[in-house]
């Protein structure tokens, strides 16, 4: 495309058509690459993230929402590098055909599973960890031998431009390409008969993606969000709980899909919890987080207004602001905030918060928070702070969620040996490590009849009494 001319939707659409066609033609060549060749592709990405583009990534994180260099390193670059190294190390094992047993009744056959690439795949990523949530699925898609079109989020334009630049620099567009844009461009992409779509974003948009995918019976991985509950019971180390929740709720300014969304705290430790939460915030961000460069901002005006409306609704309902509450629309600044005394119908209890505001409420019996969680959508993450194993087991066995973490929050994403993803409203399918590799692969059954004698012929028609007798014996002894 002529880089100086304004880009129209028609131009993007024809680019999509052209690249899609190119990738369809190239998919078998890419699909037949060796472990070594795929590792080399990942290595290029590792070098780009660790060396060539590291400073640009840090700058883009700051320009998009004042993200501190340390946090860009910790939450964008580090997870992507971990994924690359973990994948490179294990790829040989993952790609190998998996021998499986063959039932006795099928004597003469051998069987195995071949993890073949899905083909031409689409990755649609969100803005909140623009690099991490683009490159970790990309690593899995490349590892599985696919050609890839990646669409970064328009909400973090500096990061999106840089992601596209990195991809253009590292890969030929017939194997990996980036298409930039928002809803209209994504809508055009979704018209294509991709072989898999890996979408990360809101549950409402996940439904749009799944509907579009249904048109071509394209398989989907939907990494969605929602409200991740947290329970702090009376046996918990309250200071540690408050500190860890404050950390997970303030990092990225609370704009994390697995941030603790709200807290149910035992009545007997509520005051201590609030005191310790305040202490933890001060220890991390000082007395005035607005002036502290470790504290970033809400990504844009729309999301700022969304959070303001939640707070206005809370004030109208006579909520108690336990701490914070300050907002500055000029800077999209929202102070670390704790709010109590709100009913189920308050916006803070109904909507995914995705910001540094923490609604809390008290309980006296563990059945209360568990009953509340059971009534809602299945969360992506669930956190329980307790030293009482019975309570922990009760929560674990009587709730459904993508993951549960005991005595910490938002750490489940960081272990590539664990599947990451939700369940129903919080997601469909899993990513990370081998789970990401499998999401981008088709487990193909491969059977081979090797025996010189064809035992199956014994079951061929014409049928008669002897055959029925034989089949009866087979059902009895070999099924
Ligand atoms: P979003 O759903 O608004 O956007 C995600 C992507 O979808 C973007 O690339 C965007 O351009 C595209 N998109 C938006 N509207 C679309 C439409 N109508 N048609 C087609 N494409 C469209 O999400 P977001 O604001 O970027 O991220 C926040 C949400 O994502 C939260 O719900 C959060 O919990 C969730 N999230 C989940 C994970 C996870 O791994 N499960 C990670 C990060 C964020």
Task: Name which residue sits closest to atom 42 of ligand 1, judged by CA.
Answer: 257
Burial class (CB in 10 A: 0-12, 13-18, 19+), 143: buried
- Measured from the Cα of 181, ligand 1's closest atom is 11
| Torsion sign across C-alpha atoms 350, 351, 352, 356 | negative
C-alpha–C-alpha distance, residues 439 and 456, integer Å:
35
Residue 201 alpha carbon to ligand 1 centre in Å: 3
Q: Across the strands, what pairs with 327?
A: 334
Residue 295 alpha carbon to ligand 1 centre in Å: 23
What's the pLDDT score for residue 6? 78
| Torsion sign across C-alpha atoms 363, 364, 370, 374 | negative
C-alpha–C-alpha distance, residues 381 and 420, integer Å:
10
C-alpha–C-alpha distance, residues 392 and 31, integer Å:
45
DSSP-derived pairing of the beta strands 441-449 and 109-117: antiparallel
What's the pLDDT score for residue 284? 98
Average confidence (pLDDT) over 424-435:
98
Residue 206 alpha carbon to ligand 1 centre in Å: 8
C-alpha–C-alpha distance, residues 97 and 116, integer Å:
9
Task: Name which residue sits closest to atom 10 of ligand 1, judged by CA.
Answer: 153
Could you read off the pLDDT of 310-327 as tens digits, one per residue? Answer: 999 999 999 999 999 999
Catalytic position from the list 257, 276, 322, 377: 257
What are the phi and psi torsion angles at 2 (to 5°)? -70, 115
**pLDDT above 80: residue 5:** no
Q: Which of 80, 138, 202 to mutate to test the pocket of ligand 1 (most atoms within 8 A of CB)?
A: 202
**Residue 188's closest CA among 23, 18, 17?**
17
pTM listed for this prediction: 0.96
Strands (DSSP E) found in 201-311: 219-223, 228-232, 260-266
**pLDDT above 80: residue 99:** yes
Residue 434 alpha carbon to ligand 1 centre in Å: 23
**Residue 200's closest CA among 22, 387, 439?**
439
Could you read off the pLDDT of 166-191 as tens digits, one per residue? Answer: 999 999 999 999 999 999 999 999 99
Q: 412 CB contacts (<8 Å, ≥6 apart)?
A: 258, 381, 402, 403, 405, 418, 420
Could you read off the pLDDT of 132-154 as tens digits, one per residue? Answer: 999 999 999 999 999 999 999 99
C-alpha–C-alpha distance, residues 166 and 347, integer Å:
39
- Measured from the Cα of 209, ligand 1's closest atom is 20
Residue 181 alpha carbon to ligand 1 centre in Å: 13
**pLDDT above 80: residue 163:** yes
Structure tokens at 269: 């430790």
Average confidence (pLDDT) over 83-104:
97
Catalytic position from the list 46, 71, 185, 223: 223
Residue 239 alpha carbon to ligand 1 centre in Å: 34
Q: Which of 127, 136, 205, 212 to mutate to test the pocket of ligand 1 (most atoms within 8 A of CB)?
A: 205
Pocket of ligand 1 (CB under 6 A): 124-128, 133, 151, 153-155, 182-183, 186-187, 200-202, 205, 208, 223-225, 257, 352, 354, 380, 427
* Confidence band of 2 (pLDDT split at 50, 70, 90): low
Average confidence (pLDDT) over 298-317:
98
Task: Name which residue sits closest to atom 43 of ligand 1, judged by CA.
Answer: 257
**Residue 143's closest CA among 29, 53, 27, 34?**
34
What value does the mean pLDDT of the chain take? 97
CA distances from 391 to 93, 249, 258, 429 (A): 39, 24, 22, 29
Q: Which of 126, 222, 299, 427 to mutate to test the pocket of ligand 1 (most atoms within 8 A of CB)?
A: 126
- Measured from the Cα of 206, ligand 1's closest atom is 2
**pLDDT above 80: residue 365:** yes
- Measured from the Cα of 153, ligand 1's closest atom is 9
What's the pLDDT score for residue 474? 92
What's the pLDDT score for residue 479? 86
Residue 132 alpha carbon to ligand 1 centre in Å: 14
* Confidence band of 304 (pLDDT split at 50, 70, 90): very high
- Measured from the Cα of 303, ligand 1's closest atom is 25
Task: Name which residue sits closest to atom 23 of ligand 1, judged by CA.
Answer: 201
Please state the length of the chain.
Answer: 479
What's the pLDDT score for residue 252? 97
**pLDDT above 80: residue 207:** yes
Task: Name which residue sits closest to atom 26 of ligand 1, judged by CA.
Answer: 126
**pLDDT above 80: residue 240:** yes
User: Could you confirm whether 185 is annotated as catalytic?
Assistant: no
C-alpha–C-alpha distance, residues 88 and 82, integer Å:
10
Residue 416 alpha carbon to ligand 1 centre in Å: 22
Average confidence (pLDDT) over 421-435:
98
With beta carbons less than 8 A apart as the criterion, state whether 213 and 219 touch: yes
Could you read off the pLDDT of 39-64 as tens digits, one per residue? Answer: 999 999 999 999 999 999 999 999 99
User: DSSP letters of 144-164?
Assistant: TT-EEEEE--TTSHHHHHHHH
What's the pLDDT score for residue 197? 98
Average confidence (pLDDT) over 263-280:
98
Can you tell me whether residue 44 is helix, strand or coil?
Answer: helix
What's the pLDDT score for residue 221? 98
**pLDDT above 60: residue 1:** no
Residue 211 alpha carbon to ligand 1 centre in Å: 15
Q: Which DSSP state fits 289?
A: G
- Measured from the Cα of 152, ligand 1's closest atom is 9
- Measured from the Cα of 226, ligand 1's closest atom is 34
User: Could you confirm whether 188 is annotated as catalytic?
Assistant: no
Q: Across the strands, what pairs with 359?
A: 339
Calculate what percentage of the chain has a pLDDT beyond 90: 97
Task: Name which residue sits closest to atom 17 of ligand 1, judged by CA.
Answer: 183
Task: Name which residue sits closest to atom 14 of ligand 1, judged by CA.
Answer: 183
Calculate what percentage of the chain has a pLDDT beyond 70: 99
């Amino acid at each position: 495309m002529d880089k100086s001319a304004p880009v129209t939707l028609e131009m993007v659409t024809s680019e999509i058509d052209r690249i899609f066609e190119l990738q369809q033609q190239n998919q078998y060549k890419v699909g037949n690459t060796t472990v070594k060749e795929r590792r080399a592709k990942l290595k290029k990405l590792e070098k780009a993230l660790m060396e060539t583009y590291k400073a640009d990534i840090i700058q883009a994180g700051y320009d998009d929402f004042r993200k501190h260099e340390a946090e860009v390193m910790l939450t964008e670059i580090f997870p992507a590098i971990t994924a690359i190294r973990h994948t490179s190390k294990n790829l040989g094992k993952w790609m190998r055909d998996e021998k499986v047993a063959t039932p006795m009744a099928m004597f003469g056959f051998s069987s195995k599973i071949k993890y073949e690439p899905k083909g031409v795949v689409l990755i649609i990523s969100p803005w909140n960890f623009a690099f991490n949530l683009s490159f970790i699925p990309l690593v899995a898609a490349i590892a599985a031998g696919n050609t890839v079109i990646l669409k970064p989020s328009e909400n973090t334009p500096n990061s999106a431009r840089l992601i596209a630049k990195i991809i253009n620099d590292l890969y030929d567009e017939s194997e990996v390409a980036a298409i930039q844009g928002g809803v209209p461009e994504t809508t055009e992409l979704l018209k294509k008969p991709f072989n898999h779509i890996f979408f990360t974003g809101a549950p409402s948009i996940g439904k749009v993606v799944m509907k579009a995918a249904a048109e071509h019976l394209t398989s989907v991985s939907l990494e969605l969000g929602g409200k991740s509950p947290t329970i702090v019971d009376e046996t918990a180390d309250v200071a540690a709980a408050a500190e860890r929740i404050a950390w997970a709720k303030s990092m990225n300014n609370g704009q994390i899909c697995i941030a603790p969304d709200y807290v149910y705290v035992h009545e007997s430790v509520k005051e201590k919890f609030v005191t310790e939460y305040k202490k933890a915030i001060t220890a991390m961000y000082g007395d005035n987080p607005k002036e502290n460069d470790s504290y970033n901002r809400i990504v844009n005006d729309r999301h700022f207004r969304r959070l303001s409306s939640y707070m206005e609704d809370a004030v109208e309902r006579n909520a108690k602001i336990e701490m914070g509450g300050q907002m500055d629309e000029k800077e999209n600044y929202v102070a670390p905030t704790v709010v109590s005394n709100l009913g189920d119908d308050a916006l803070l209890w109904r909507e995914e918060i995705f910001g540094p505001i923490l609604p809390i409420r008290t309980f006296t019996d563990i059945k209360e928070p568990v009953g509340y969680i059971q009534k809602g959508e299945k969360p992506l993450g669930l956190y329980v702070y307790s030293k009482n194993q019975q309570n922990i087991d009760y929560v674990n066995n009587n709730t459904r969620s993508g993951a549960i973490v005991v005595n910490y929050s938002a750490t489940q994403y960081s272990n590539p040996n664990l599947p990451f993803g939700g369940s129903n409203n919080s997601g469909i399918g899993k990513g990370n490590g081998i789970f990401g590799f499998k999401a981008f692969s088709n487990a193909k059954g491969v059977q081979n009849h090797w025996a010189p004698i064809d035992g199956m012929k014994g079951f061929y028609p014409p049928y008669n009494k002897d055959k029925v007798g034989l089949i009866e014996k087979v059902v009895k002894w070999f099924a």
